[in-house]
């Protein structure tokens, strides 16, 4: 079961790197949905292993909010603004992929240092969480459109969610539900902001 759980978090990192290597926004939303699904399966593995009600609840609300609702509203907004791809980037795709690989190596080095202090929970999960967090931040900085920056923000949120669930073996369900509801409302507000900006530019 541990190997299967590791496979799920490797696929989370693969989806983030693929996002860096692609300018297509529709593909990026699909990758986010896939990334969230892998996160949900990882949480499910923990729920079965620890027989934790909190983790079963976390699995269910991750599927509802991160795999279904948020991608649905992002697709709906994307369809209205008719935006296909990210054209303007501060750095090119090949450079961004190399940078993402460097951040993954850096995350591994930091994880090894922290593990020696004995204050963390597992070098593999910590490495993937930190790499996903840093690459998500890189997406927010290197992409110019608000849509791509939102996806970078959501990637950071998944990294924090992965780390939090690994450390606590399931946060209190009410807390997770509150966090995910806040995230969902934020995405709705940002979607409305994108639509209003588009209308103002068009007029």
Task: Mention every residue, 6+ apart, whose C-beta is less than 8 A from residue 176.
Answer: 54, 57, 58, 61
Q: Are 183 and 65 within 8 A, CB to CB?
A: yes
pTM for the predicted model, two decimal places? 0.84
Interatomic CA distance for residues 33 and 133, integer angstroms: 17
197 φψ region: left (φ > 0), alpha (ψ -120 to 50), beta (else) = alpha
Summarised one tens digit per residue, pLDDT across range 10-43 is 999 999 999 888 888 899 999 999 999 999 999 8
Summarised one tens digit per residue, pLDDT across range 29-85 is 999 999 999 999 998 988 888 888 888 888 898 899 899 998 998 898 888 877 777
The domains of the chain are located at 1-80+96-198
């Amino acid at each position: 079961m541990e190997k299967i759980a590791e496979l799920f978090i490797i696929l989370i990192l693969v989806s983030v790197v693929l996002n860096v290597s692609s300018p297509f926004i529709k593909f990026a939303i699909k990758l986010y949905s896939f990334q969230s699904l892998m996160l949900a399966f990882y949480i499910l593995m923990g729920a079965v292993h620890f027989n934790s009600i909190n983790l079963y609840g976390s699995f269910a609300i991750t599927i509802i909010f991160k795999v279904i609702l948020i991608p649905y509203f992002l697709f709906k907004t994307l369809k209205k603004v008719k935006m296909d791809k990210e054209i303007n980037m501060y750095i090119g795709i090949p450079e961004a992929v190399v940078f993402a690989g460097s951040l993954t190596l850096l995350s591994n080095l930091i994880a090894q240092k922290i593990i020696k202090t004995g204050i963390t929970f597992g070098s593999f999960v910590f490495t993937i969480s930190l790499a996903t967090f840093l690459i998500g931040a890189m997406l927010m900085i290197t992409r110019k459109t608000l849509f791509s920056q939102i996806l970078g923000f959501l990637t950071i949120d998944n990294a924090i969610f992965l780390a939090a669930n690994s450390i606590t073996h399931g946060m209190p369900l009410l807390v997770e539900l509150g966090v995910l509801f806040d995230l969902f409302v934020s995405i709705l507000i940002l979607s409305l902001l994108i639509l209003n900006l588009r209308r103002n530019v068009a007029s």
